[in-house]
């Protein structure tokens, strides 16, 4: 096993929660190659732990274990599955302090945001504990006499979860909670940057009483991620893949899954528009935008990327937003005064810096920020940045940023705003702020996205279907009925009766 840095070890109340081996078939194991990789704290650019570098050769054992477990787990009653999820949920909440600490060291997000992610994540365990007992078939009146038609719902089988680094606990639990509630088993592949939080979840799932093989975790490096993911996608025993990540990778995985016609859920890129009209409550819009844009340093798929502001309030809104942005305190996530941490990967710094330079070349004005921060512990820090006078020629208009940078685009009419907002191949989320109820309905119907925030910057909730359209993917996670159905098959029975009565 790899060593744990004193920097994090001293902050854990229950050090046994820190797990740095892969979890397969109820056992903590190393990769067949024996190789391990380092986990880096983005707030200091220093190693604080290591994990086994699982590869494609390790996939088959995990899938076989999950399948053997499925043969028994699928027979568990809905009440039993609900009780297991409830115990899992209780253990996660009980150990939220240590989970939050691990999250900060893995992702760089401030401690308060780490607690927020855990609260959000456990909303899925709680929600799907209830959904487990509400999986129902149906009956249909038949057109032919003497015939009865009915359906039952059954779990798919072994499922694979490919999760990103920006919300590693929430994304694991949003997928795993639905799968486990449905009666499926799971093999999770966390991001190379954030394997430890997923492994802690595996430990707590074991303590909750899940049988061996029901929930498995395969950490791996960025170098081995493509081949390991392909092995999961092509494995004939894996019946469903759920992926959260970029559109580019989503298309590759979709091709891999096509060979076995797997069920697939894809939650992909965002590039989300945020539209502010003249009649909006500017304080309400600004507060929503601040939380939406600078949470986790702008590293969320649903974050606002392009901010369209009607010209009548453009200058006022820009000034209000700049004043609030300048109050952000950048620092290490464990510092309680920090309100924005580093980006999680160093390439994120390069992308934000390139978009700032491109915007300036095309006439953009840096209202605040615009620079890397080199004075904070060698971490991956960038100033929260606002670009004014943005145009469609800039990279920020067409590229998802995934960093603490937003651009303000002026517009004149509602028709123009809709056209600009929809001018993207993505369609995950859109946001609109206005006090005109007629316009609210028009924008809801005309904006091309799977989720629309209407005077709201938060579209994510366990009870709300989550997913996009266009090149932002397909399928839904969370919400009533739709999410758990992603892990079920519908089997139709047709019975012909003899005789009449």
Burial class (CB in 10 A: 0-12, 13-18, 19+), 63: buried
Q: Please tell me the distance from the alpha carbon of residue 56 to that of residue 162, in angstroms, as a whole number.
A: 14
Q: 488 CB contacts (<8 Å, ≥6 apart)?
A: 135, 153, 154, 155, 156, 182
Phi-psi region of 25 (alpha: psi -120 to 50; beta: other; left: phi over 0): left
8 A C-beta contact, residue 137 and residue 153: yes
Strand partners, 160: 187, 241
Token representation of residue 419: 């056209």
Q: Please tell me the distance from the alpha carbon of residue 468 to that of residue 450, in angstroms, as a whole number.
A: 4
Enumerate helices (H) and strands (E) in the chain, giving the number of each. Answer: 16, 22
Token representation of residue 472: 């932002």
Question: Which one is catalytic: 301, 400, 448, 486?
Answer: 301
Assign 143 to helix, strand or coil.
coil
Token representation of residue 142: 């038949």
> Which residue matches tokens 């894809």?
266
Q: Please tell me the distance from the alpha carbon of residue 180 to that of residue 159, in angstroms, as a whole number.
A: 10
- Report DSSP state, residue 16: G
The alpha carbon dihedral of 17, 21, 24, 27 has a sign of negative
> Which residue matches tokens 């449905």?
182
Token representation of residue 79: 């009440």
List of E strands, 175-227? 185-189, 215-217
8 A C-beta contact, residue 153 and residue 488: yes
Token representation of residue 252: 């590759």
Burial class (CB in 10 A: 0-12, 13-18, 19+), 196: buried
Q: Please tell me the distance from the alpha carbon of residue 165 to that of residue 464, in angstroms, as a whole number.
A: 22
- Give the chain's length: 501
Q: Please tell me the distance from the alpha carbon of residue 188 to that of residue 215, in angstroms, as a whole number.
A: 8
Question: Which one is catalytic: 267, 448, 477, 486?
Answer: 267
Is 301 in the active site? yes
Which of the residues are catalytic? 267, 301
């Amino acid at each position: 096993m790899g060593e744990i840095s004193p920097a994090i070890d001293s902050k854990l109340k229950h050090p046994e929660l820190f797990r740095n081996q892969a979890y397969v078939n109820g056992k903590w194991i190393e990769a067949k190659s024996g190789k391990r990789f380092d986990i880096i704290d983005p707030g200091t650019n220093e190693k604080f732990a290591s994990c086994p570098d699982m590869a494609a050769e390790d996939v088959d054992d995990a899938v076989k274990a999950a399948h053997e477990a499925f043969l028994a787990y699928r027979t568990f009653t809905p009440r039993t599955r609900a009780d297991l999820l409830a115990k899992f949920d209780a253990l996660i909440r009980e150990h939220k302090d240590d989970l939050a600490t691990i999250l900060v060291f893995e992702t760089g997000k401030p401690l308060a945001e780490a607690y927020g992610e855990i609260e959000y994540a456990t909303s899925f365990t709680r929600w799907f504990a209830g959904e487990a007992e509400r999986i129902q078939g149906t009956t249909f009146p038949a057109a032919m006499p003497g015939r009865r038609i009915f359906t039952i719902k059954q779990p798919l089988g072994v499922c694979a979860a490919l999760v990103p680094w920006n919300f590693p606990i929430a994304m694991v639990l949003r997928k795993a909670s639905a799968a486990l509630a449905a009666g499926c088993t799971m093999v999770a592949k966390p991001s190379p940057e954030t394997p430890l939080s997923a492994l802690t979840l595996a430990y707590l799932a074991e303590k909750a009483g899940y049988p061996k093989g029901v929930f498995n975790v395969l950490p791996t490096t960025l170098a081995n991620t493509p081949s390991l993911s392909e092995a999961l996608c092509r494995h004939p025993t894996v019946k469903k893949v759920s992926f959260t990540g970029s559109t580019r990778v989503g298309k590759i995985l979709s091709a891999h899954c096509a060979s076995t016609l797997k069920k697939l859920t894809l939650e992909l890129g965002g590039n989300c528009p945020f539209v502010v009209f003249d009649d909006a409550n500017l304080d309400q819009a600004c507060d929503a935008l601040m939380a939406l844009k600078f949470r986790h340093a702008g590293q969320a798929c649903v974050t606002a990327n392009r901010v369209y502001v009607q010209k009548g309030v453009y200058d006022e809104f820009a000034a209000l937003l700049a004043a609030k942005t300048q109050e952000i305190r950048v620092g290490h996530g464990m510092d309680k005064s920090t309100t924005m941490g580093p980006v999680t990967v160093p390439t994120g710094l390069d992308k934000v810096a390139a978009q700032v330079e491109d915007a300036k070349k095309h006439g953009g004005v840096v209202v605040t920020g615009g620079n890397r921060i080199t004075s904070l512990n060698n971490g991956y820090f960038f100033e929260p940045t606002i670009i004014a006078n943005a145009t469609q020629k800039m990279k920020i208009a067409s590229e998802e940023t995934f960093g603490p940078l937003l651009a303000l685009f002026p517009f004149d009419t509602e028709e123009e705003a809709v056209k600009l907002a929809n001018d993207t191949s993505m369609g995950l989320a859109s946001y609109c702020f206005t006090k005109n109820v007629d316009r609210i309905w028009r924008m809801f119907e005309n904006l091309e996205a799977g989720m629309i925030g209407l005077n709201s910057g938060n579209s994510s909730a366990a009870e709300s279907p989550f997913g996009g359209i266009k090149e932002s993917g397909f399928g839904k996670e969370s919400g009533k009925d739709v999410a758990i159905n992603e892990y079920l098959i519908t089997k139709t029975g047709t019975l012909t009766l003899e005789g009449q009565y």
